[in-house]
């Protein structure tokens, strides 16, 4: 008789930040890992898994990945949404991990094999002032990165998205999800931002030359016309992309941006299905798909989404913040390695404690990753180490305008 799923355990751990991990065990004693981390809403996914999805897995055939995905997605009646799709993603990735382990192959082999020798990644640079930012970019370049996301403080604003707080450890604080009772508050002034950014990119280009790829994340802050103004003002500095210029719920807004500027556009880190991309892809309104394997239902739908995008000359740029665990990062790297339309991979280092909890086989060298050749995802989960770091409630910040009005973060 072929193996069945006998257990699926959900483990929450906080090695520097919260992670939700699914451990699927089969009757022949194999285990597969999935990442179900949804930053700031972690326990909602835990409940979705423990209360609703794990009971459906027990006794199922672990090799029937597509059928299990359809069973959980169509079978719920209530489709989409980040909580459901993160829960389904963890199951899907754990089943791919199991299948690749049984085959004795690294997962990328099951996805078609290597399409490249290395996975180009971009690192993160941040500074409250331009000299501080230049130092930060220099560090990334010294580490081997050939592409860097550049975020900067804005004069007159206390704290904005992506900027290290004065009292924080710069290496780990791009994502300020903080263990506080209430979200931290950042301030925002679009006019000040639009005035400041072009001179920052001028200084960065001047200092680092033409070759270094520069990326920037507007983090959903702008209207389409403001995005056009920003895009145009950055055209002389040859950006690799402008990310999330405007909130993505209204896909048609991207038509206005596309008509107004030639800056390449990346979006989708908060999207959860292919439907969120339909207008963007069919009308070629974006250049890069930012979805995370962890938040978009796993490897199964991500492969379909990226193959669909490929037919419209749109490339991958899988979300890789430190709130995706090394399990989710490994899943992204295997997919990156196999698909044809790979663009770039985001990389934000995990806290050092997280590397203890999730020993991973992927490697970073000269700005590029390789997923490793261990069977499956190539990541293990140290349960004893995980138990040393209990969950801590944490929230992402919010942003307010100068008069106190809530704005998009
Ligand atoms: O703010 O992952 O491009 N990366 C990003 C991230 C997101 C966080 C949210 O959980 O915008 O830093
Ligand atoms: Co982003």
pLDDT of residue 21: 99
* pLDDT (average), residues 388-396: 94
Ligand 1 pocket test: pick from 19, 121, 294, 319 the residue with the most ligand atoms within 8 Å of its Cβ: 319
Is residue 308 domain-shared with residue 345, that is, in the same domain? yes
pLDDT of residue 81: 97
pLDDT of residue 227: 98
pLDDT in tens, 326-342: 999 999 999 999 999 99
Catalytic sites, residue numbers: 161, 219
pLDDT of residue 178: 73
Domain around 78: 5-105
Ligand number, closest to the Cα atom of 320: 1
Q: How far, CA to CA in Å, does 297 sit from each of 21, 83, 157, 262, 379?
A: 15, 10, 37, 32, 19
Ligand 1 pocket test: pick from 147, 219, 346 the residue with the most ligand atoms within 8 Å of its Cβ: 219
pLDDT cut 90: percent of the chain above it: 94
Ligand 1 center from residue 262 Cα (angstroms):
24
Ligand 1 atom showing the smallest separation from residue 346 Cα: 3
Smallest Cα–Cα separation from 174: which of 312, 345, 350?
A: 350
pLDDT of residue 160: 87
Domain boundary among 105, 125, 151: 105
Ligand 2 center from residue 13 Cα (angstroms):
24
Identify the residue whose C-alpha is closest to ligand 1 atom 5: 321
Is residue 135 domain-shared with residue 260, that is, in the same domain? yes
Ligand 1 center from residue 87 Cα (angstroms):
19
Is residue 121 domain-shared with residue 99, that is, in the same domain? no
* Residue 387 forms part of a structural domain: no
Give the integer Cα–Cα distance in Å for 317 and 336: 9
* pLDDT (average), residues 289-304: 98
Q: Give me the CATH number covering residue 361.
A: 3.20.20.120
Ligand 2 center from residue 267 Cα (angstroms):
8
Ligand 1 center from residue 172 Cα (angstroms):
13
Ligand 1 atom showing the smallest separation from residue 162 Cα: 12
pLDDT of residue 162: 87
* Residue 391 forms part of a structural domain: no
Ligand 1 atom showing the smallest separation from residue 321 Cα: 2
* Residue 128 forms part of a structural domain: yes
How many domains, the chain? 2
pLDDT of residue 170: 46
pLDDT of residue 271: 98
Domain boundary among 105, 125, 144: 105
Is residue 76 domain-shared with residue 131, that is, in the same domain? no
Ligand 1 atom showing the smallest separation from residue 174 Cα: 12
Average pLDDT, the chain: 96
Which residues are placed with Cβ below 5 angstroms of ligand 2, an ion?
217, 269
Is residue 74 domain-shared with residue 145, that is, in the same domain? no
pLDDT in tens, 196-219: 999 999 999 999 999 999 999 999
* pLDDT (average), residues 278-299: 98
pLDDT in tens, 338-384: 999 999 999 999 999 999 999 999 999 999 999 999 999 999 999 99
pLDDT of residue 122: 98
Q: How far, CA to CA in Å, does 290 sit from each of 57, 144, 224, 330?
A: 29, 23, 19, 16
* Residue 170 forms part of a structural domain: yes
Ligand 1 center from residue 175 Cα (angstroms):
7
Is residue 284 domain-shared with residue 364, that is, in the same domain? yes
* pLDDT (average), residues 292-306: 98
Domain boundary among 87, 105, 123: 105
The DSSP result for 263-288, as a single string, is S-EEE-TT--SGGGGHHHHHTT--SE
Question: The dihedral of CA 252, 256, 257, 262: what is its sign?
Answer: positive
Is residue 298 domain-shared with residue 157, that is, in the same domain? yes
* Residue 396 forms part of a structural domain: no
pLDDT of residue 165: 64
CB 165 within 8 A of CB 176: yes
pLDDT in tens, 138-186: 999 999 999 999 999 999 999 889 887 655 554 445 566 777 788 999 9
* Residue 392 forms part of a structural domain: no
Q: Give me the CATH number covering residue 57.
A: 3.30.390.10
pLDDT of residue 1: 63
User: Containing H/E element for 365?
Assistant: strand 363-365
Ligand 1 pocket test: pick from 323, 324, 399, 408 the residue with the most ligand atoms within 8 Å of its Cβ: 323
Is residue 43 domain-shared with residue 177, that is, in the same domain? no
* pLDDT (average), residues 281-300: 98
Is residue 128 domain-shared with residue 258, that is, in the same domain? yes
Ligand 1 center from residue 157 Cα (angstroms):
20
* Residue 56 forms part of a structural domain: yes
Give the integer Cα–Cα distance in Å for 221 and 161: 10
Tell me which residues have their CB closer than 6 angstroms to ligand 1: 39, 175, 217, 219, 269, 321, 323, 396
Identify the residue whose C-alpha is closest to ligand 1 atom 11: 219
Is residue 94 domain-shared with residue 155, that is, in the same domain? no
Identify the residue whose C-alpha is closest to ligand 1 atom 9: 39
Identify the residue whose C-alpha is closest to ligand 1 atom 10: 39
Strands annotated E in 159-206: 185-188
Is residue 220 domain-shared with residue 284, that is, in the same domain? yes
Ligand number, closest to the Cα atom of 244: 2
* Residue 408 forms part of a structural domain: no
Report the relative pairing of strands 363-365 and 345-346 from DSSP bridges. unpaired
pLDDT in tens, 107-128: 999 999 999 999 999 999 999 9
Is residue 67 domain-shared with residue 118, that is, in the same domain? no
């Amino acid at each position: 008789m072929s193996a069945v799923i006998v257990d699926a355990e959900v483990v929450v751990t906080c090695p520097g930040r919260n992670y939700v991990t699914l451990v699927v065990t089969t009757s022949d004693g194999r285990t597969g890992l999935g990442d179900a981390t949804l930053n700031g809403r972690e326990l909602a996914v835990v409940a979705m898994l423990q209360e609703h999805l794990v009971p459906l897995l027990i006794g199922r055939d672990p090799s029937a990945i597509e059928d299990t995905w359809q069973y959980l997605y169509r079978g719920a009646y209530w489709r989409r949404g980040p909580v459901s799709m993160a829960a389904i993603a963890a199951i899907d990735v754990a089943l791919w991990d199991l299948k690749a382990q049984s085959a004795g192959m690294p997962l990328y082999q099951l996805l078609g094999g290597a399409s490249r020798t290395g996975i180009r990644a971009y690192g993160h640079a941040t500074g409250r002032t331009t000299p501080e930012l230049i130092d930060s970019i220099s560090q990334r370049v010294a580490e081997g990165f050939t592409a860097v996301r550049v975020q900067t403080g804005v004069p007159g604003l206390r704290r904005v998205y992506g900027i290290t707080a004065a009292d924080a450890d710069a290496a780990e604080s791009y994502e300020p999800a903080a263990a506080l009772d209430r979200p931290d508050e950042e301030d925002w002034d679009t006019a000040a931002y639009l005035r400041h950014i072009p001179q920052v990119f001028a200084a960065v280009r001047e200092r680092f030359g033409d070759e270094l790829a520069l990326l920037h994340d507007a983090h959903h802050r702008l209207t389409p016309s403001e995005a056009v103004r920003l895009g145009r003002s950055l055209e002389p500095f040859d950006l690799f992309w402008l990310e999330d210029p405007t909130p993505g719920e209204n896909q048609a807004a991207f038509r206005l941006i596309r008509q107004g500027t030639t800056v390449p556009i990346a979006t989708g880190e908060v999207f959860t299905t292919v439907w969120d991309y339909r207008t963007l892809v069919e009308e070629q309104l974006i250049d890069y798909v930012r979805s995370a394997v962890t938040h978009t239902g796993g490897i199964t739908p991500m492969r379909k989404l990226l193959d669909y995008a490929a037919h419209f000359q749109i490339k991958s740029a899988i979300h890789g913040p430190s709130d995706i665990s090394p399990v989710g990062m490994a899943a992204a790297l295997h997919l990156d390695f196999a698909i044809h339309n790979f663009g770039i991979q985001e990389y934000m280092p995990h806290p050092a404690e997280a590397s203890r909890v999730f020993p991973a086989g992927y490697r970073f060298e000269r700005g590029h990753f390789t997923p490793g050749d261990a069977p499956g995802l190539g990541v293990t989960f140290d349960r004893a180490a995980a138990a040393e770091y209990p969950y801590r409630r944490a929230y992402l910040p919010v942003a307010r305008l100068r008069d106190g009005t809530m704005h998009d973060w």
